Amino acid sequence: MPALRCVRQVSPANRSDGFLGSDLTQDDGAYFDGKVEDFTWKLVGEQDLLVLFDQPSFTDPATLQRLPEGGWRMLVPGGARVGFQVPGWSGVAWCPVQEVLVRRPHWVVEAVPKDPYYLFGKIVLRFDKELFMGSYSSKYDWQGHLIGSYSAIRTNIVKVAPGELWAWAGGAVAVALNWKLDRATTAGIVAGQNVPADSRIPLAPSMFSLQRLSERGR
C-alpha cells in the first residue's frame, strides 16, 4: 500500500475474501482462478447469452497485430472505460461504456466449495462453447441467495487463421458486483492511448533452467 508505506498481508487460505477490501476475490482472477480440486463440479446445462465485448474489437481490427518474432500485440485503445470517466454521466459509476452485446452459446457449470468456511456456497459459471472463455458468474451464499456477480468483458475476438479464433481480455474491464452492499469494483482500466500489450511470446527453454531461476530469483 504505497500511500501508507506499508504491506498488507493477504490470506492465502481463504481465497473468497474481498481482495484488499474490494468486491474482487483472489479466486476471480481473469474469470476463475480457484483450485479445481477444492470444488465439486456439475454441468447444469446450456444457455445463449448476450455477452459484453469491447467495441474496438469489431470496429478497429488493427488493435491486434501478429509480431514478427512470434506472438501477438494488442493495442489497448484509450478513452473512457466506465461511467464515472464520462463527463456528466448519470448512471452507475461502474457501468462499462465501450462495450457491445454479442449473442454467444455457453455451457453453464456449477461449482460447490468443499470448504465449509468458504464465503460462497455455490458459484455458477458460464463458459463460451467455442472460445472456452468465461463470461458471467453468479455467487450465492450457503442459503442459496444471490450475493454477487462477476463479469469478465472480452476483447479482440479475431479470426487469425482457418479454424483459429484469438480471444484475449487484456484490454477489457472486469466488474465485480456486490448485490448486498449495492456497490461494485472494476479492474483493468488502462491509462493512455493504444497501450501495447504482448502475449504468447516464444520463450527459450533455458529461461526455466534451475540455474536461470536461481539467478533471477535472488
What is the tens place of the pLDDT at every residue in 127-175? 989 878 888 899 999 999 999 999 876 655 555 566 656 555 545 678 8
Full strand arrangement of the beta sheet holding 64-66: 64-66, 72-76, 195-199
Domains in the chain, number: 1
Question: Cβ(123)–Cβ(106) under 8 Å?
Answer: no
pLDDT of residue 161: 62
Residue 180 located in a structural domain:
yes
pTM of the model: 0.76
Would 17 be classed as within a structural domain?
A: no
In-domain check, residue 141: yes
pLDDT digits (tens, 9 = 90+) for 18-49: 777 788 888 888 788 889 999 999 999 999 99
Higher-pLDDT residue of 117 and 21 is 117
The answer to whether residue 205 sits within a structural domain is no
Highest mean pLDDT among 17-26, 69-78, 117-126, 165-174: 117-126
- For residue 198, tell me if it sits in a domain: no
Average pLDDT over residues 12-22: 78
84 alpha-carbon distance from chain centroid: 20
Q: Is residue 6 part of a domain?
A: no
pLDDT at 8 over 60: yes
208 domain residue, yes or no: no
Say whether pLDDT at 121 is over 90.
yes
> Distance of alpha carbon 211 from its chain centroid, rounded?
34
127 located within any domain: yes
Adjacent-strand bridge partners of 199:
72
In which domain, by residue range, is 68 found? 23-190
